[in-house]
Amino acid sequence: MALTDAENPPEPLLAVRGVTGLVGVLLVLVGFGLTGLVGVAVLVGLVLIGTLEVWVWVGLVGLVVTGPVGLAAAVVLPVLFALDVVGEPRAEAMTGPVAVGPAASSAQAAEVASRPAARSRGTSSLRARLTNMSDLPASSTAASDDAPTLQVRAPLEPGSSTFCYTCAVSSYDDVTSLEPGPAEHERHGTFDDGWMIGNAVNGGLVMATGLTALGQHLALDPDESTPHVDPVVLSAYFMTASQPGPFTVTTEVIRTGRKLSTGQVSLVQQGDDGRPVERMRAIGSFGNLEQVDSVTQSSPPDLPPPEGCVSAAEAPPSFLANMRFLERLDLRIDPATAGWAVGRPSKQGVIRGWLRLADGRDPDTTMLMMALDALPPVAFDLGMLGWTPTLEFTGHIRRRPAPGWLLVSLASENVGGGLMEEDAKIWDSAGHLVAQSRQLCGYRMPSTSRPAHG
């Protein structure tokens, strides 16, 4: 694991600092040595020549000139060394992710290096943004052939000394990474077709990307006196289906406060006619969920452990071909709610299962917003295998998730008039309720399907 601490830097940095220290010591010795030689000359002059006046003055001048040289070297050099003016710069001087290798050009590296320093946010972005790698499983730190060869990231929080120097980048972090636009409130990114569900990019990923942009904007806002690093609530409207390709996210800070700060985010892509098409508009609030006391919470449902559930990878190839998004996940569905996959839906309107990213990256508060919209539509368990596009989504993040699996439960009780609701809850590996949501969906029945009753 390529991690280091500011107090225990890599070996090359130790070597540079060792040489600098040696040079400083030598300069101090030379300064005091010259002072000593002048003193000896004074004594020799007094004894051998006997003419005191000239040599006394010479000795005094020598002591006045060379003595401060040694003292200055003894005081100034250690101070410069401690401040890193001498020697190799410390890693804390870097701001923002700097990718080196095939994932980044020299122009990109120069652009990132020229950005002004800003408060670092846990998310988000993050938001792009790797967490404390000491908590990640081994699979998430192993390099892969399609991952950048070197990723350098700034401290997670101001004053933090934990860094990742060489590690594979999660596909989730890669697709939600954003580049600054010409205006402070504008950022750019690209969706790839590996996150498609049906004919659109997964809406949960679109929301997580929007939250990443809003979090980055808040981190740079001068009025944000209390840093807020966790999304707490998001209300999103989906105007059109997002497609693979470039997109632009614009953000606006509406209010900054001590407990919560709120902003608006809009994600736009270029339409077939070349004109901008808005995909999603949302209002979200950020806070701090580092320590949350639960007075009462919903209990997680009983279901078999992940190894006793049905893996999405076992679905027919024809199904997976239209659900490429599932390739990015390790999804295990409770057998009691998986009958729809073989044509026997329970008609209870419930789907439950275990979820984590396929590359082993642990969840954070921004990723939870995507997880709330990651399972197959609960309409499937009602025997409705048509398209169920999200019209409006409201998600609440209740606390930071523990590393490991997420238990996700979906339910729906009301279907009619071409609309249905879908309620989601997520518990982390420690059994805490970490997120919940309700979304209003449309549904379109295939010609061979009939509405479910009961």
pLDDT in tens, 262-304: 999 999 999 999 999 999 999 999 999 988 887 888 999 999 9
Query: What pLDDT band is residue 124 in, cutting at 50, 70 and 90?
Result: very low
Query: Considering only 27-31, 352-356, 397-401, which range has the smallest mean pLDDT?
Result: 27-31
| CATH number of this structure's domain 306-442 | 2.40.160.210
Spell out the residues 6+ positions from residue 254 whose beta carbon is closer than 8 angstroms to its own.
262, 263, 264, 283
Query: What pLDDT band is residue 52 in, cutting at 50, 70 and 90?
Result: low
Query: What pLDDT band is residue 240 in, cutting at 50, 70 and 90?
Result: very high
Per-residue pLDDT, 403: 97
Whose CA is closest to 16, among 93, 90, 92?
90
Distance CA 271, CA 304 (A): 45
Dihedral sign, Cα of residue 73, residue 74, residue 80, residue 81: positive
Per-residue pLDDT, 337: 95
Structure-model confidence comparison of residues 445 and 271, the more confident one: 271
Dihedral sign, Cα of residue 402, residue 403, residue 407, residue 410: positive
Would residue 124 be called left, alpha or beta, if left means φ above 0 and alpha means ψ between -120 and 50 degrees? left
For residue 56, give both structure tokens: 């006394």
Query: Considering only 166-170, 174-178, 242-246, 427-431, which range has the smallest mean pLDDT?
Result: 166-170
Q: How far is CA 42 from the centre of its chain?
A: 68
CATH class of 98-287: alpha beta
Paired with 425 in beta bridges are 409, 436
The answer to whether 98-287 and 306-442 have equal CATH topology is: no
Q: Give yes or no for a contact between 195 and 202, defined as CB atoms under 8 angstroms apart.
A: yes
Per-residue pLDDT, 446: 61
* Residue boundaries of the structural domains of the chain: 2-82, 98-287, 306-442
pTM of the model: 0.64
